[in-house]
Amino acid sequence: MQKKALKIEESPKTLDFTIVGGHKLKGEIEIKKSKNASVAVLCASLLNAGTTTLKKIPKIEEVFRILEVFESIGVKTEWKNEDLVINVGKINLKNINRDSAEKTRTVIMMIGPLIHLFKKFEIPNAGGCKLGSRIVSPHFYALENFGVSIETESDKYIIKNKKLRPSEFVLYEMGDTVTENALMAASKIDGVSTIKFASSNYMVQDLCHFLETLGVKIEGIGTSTLIIHGVKEVNRDVTFEISEDPIEAMFFFTSAIVTKSSILIKKCPIDFLELELLKLKMMGFKYRQSKVYKGENGFVNLVDIQTEPSNLKALPEKIHAIPYPGINMDNLPFFAVIATQAEGETFIHDWVYENRAIYYTELEKLGASIILADPHRVYIKGQTKLRAADMVTPPALRPAAIILIGMLAAKGTSILRNVYSISRGYEDLADRLNKLGAKISVS
């Protein structure tokens, strides 16, 4: 195994984008594999004593951070072109890479697998996007049902379990990561566990399908009640392919809308985009959709979307996110930059995160007209002619992405500094946009 292969693939930590905006996009783009499903399945690979091969895993900063943590605790990883091969072996948490762990919230999802290897252990506090207080209590409440106790200190979590047991319980909130943590915990507890009020979002469904390749039987995939038939041991050589990313698809829909461009966006996971597309259609977005076809993993439903230049009008009601099958929490921010190009006033309610709506006001530096009602609600007036600006990237992935999209539409030369937040979730984004006709240089 090539232990240092990660360093070859890893992108520089600080990059700036110089964007010459106002150019229409053209051509076609293919959606890459899901960031959020990838990190969940990466954590779940710790359950497997055999070899796990994950196909076409995105080479993004979030994945690199997890792999750095893996290697620091003794997990062997190797890139084979686009695929990632993982062999867990014997894990030692004493030398865990704290710097990498603290840069990703995904580290908290390692608790579910690690409780099957250790009676007591510690991991660093979770990091990731800076979006206010993202409570971890729901994770603790869920795992307590299996016999796990977790103490929080200023810089770490201390996890203990005397004897793991199957359980039936209701989650404190319908969260994606808490559902995933509970799923991974239940998977290697002999017996039947039932998780109610579970997320049925795309990354959770991918994780369920992966766990089934490991021999775990799961009933209710795609619903809010999951019944897990756990197994004592998992030792299989498996190959698994992640589904395509609906959030990346929304990024390219939005890029086409604000630049009034006609592009073909291929491999869009339609089951997780239907409401977003309906809202956009009601706003005036013109597009053509192919027939549904199965993805290469055999379970994701895909379509190709051909966008057309469109004149949009604001919706009369508020736009807000709710758990699947509602508008995805990660897709809500795209409506903020779309609203700058829609005639009328758009009301966006971002009720989940304390700070994210505040980041939407960064669009004002590009000429947007935004009223921040409170930390969760904004009113955006359109149609606005966006202008170029020199800005520092917000420390959160999706707010950073909408600034980049705004700059694509703004005539003149913009600079977006320190794009690490964007690199956490999008692979080779500048190069892929340039192939569509954007003018982005990286320095």
Q: Domain extents for the chain?
A: 9-32+244-442, 35-241
Q: What is the pLDDT of residue 127?
A: 56
Q: Could you tell me which residues come within 8 angstroms of residue 363 by beta carbon, excluding any fewer than 6 positions away?
A: 336, 337, 340, 370, 380, 402, 403, 406
The CA distance from 70 to 55, in Å, is: 18
Q: Is the dihedral of CA 396, 400, 402, 403 positive or negative?
A: positive
Residue with tokens 């600034």: 403
CATH number 3.30.420.40 given to 35-241: no
Residue with tokens 């695929």: 83
The CA distance from 349 to 405, in Å, is: 21
Q: What is the pLDDT of residue 309?
A: 97
Q: What is the pTM of this model?
A: 0.93
Q: What is the pLDDT of residue 3?
A: 36
The CA distance from 252 to 264, in Å, is: 9
Q: What is the pLDDT of residue 353?
A: 81
The CA distance from 296 to 301, in Å, is: 10
The CA distance from 316 to 337, in Å, is: 17
Q: What is the pLDDT of residue 130?
A: 46
For the chain, how far is it from start to end, CA to CA, in angstroms?
32
Phi/psi at 216 (5° precision)? -90, 130
Query: Which among 181, 196, 191, 189 has a CA at the least distance from the CA of 143?
Result: 181
Query: Which among 418, 442, 439 has a CA at the least distance from the CA of 19?
Result: 439
Q: Would the CATH topology of 9-32+244-442 be identical to that of 35-241?
A: yes
Query: Which among 119, 120, 167, 126 has a CA at the least distance from the CA of 39?
Result: 126
* Class of the domain covering 9-32+244-442: alpha beta
Q: What is the pLDDT of residue 49?
A: 97
Query: Which among 196, 191, 222, 202 has a CA at the least distance from the CA of 141?
Result: 196
Grouped pLDDT means (10 residues each) for the chain, 443 residues: 38 79 97 96 98 96 94 96 95 92 85 96 71 69 95 88 95 95 97 98 98 98 98 97 98 98 98 98 98 98 98 97 95 98 98 88 97 96 96 92 97 96 93 98 95
The CA distance from 412 to 407, in Å, is: 9
The CA distance from 67 to 69, in Å, is: 5
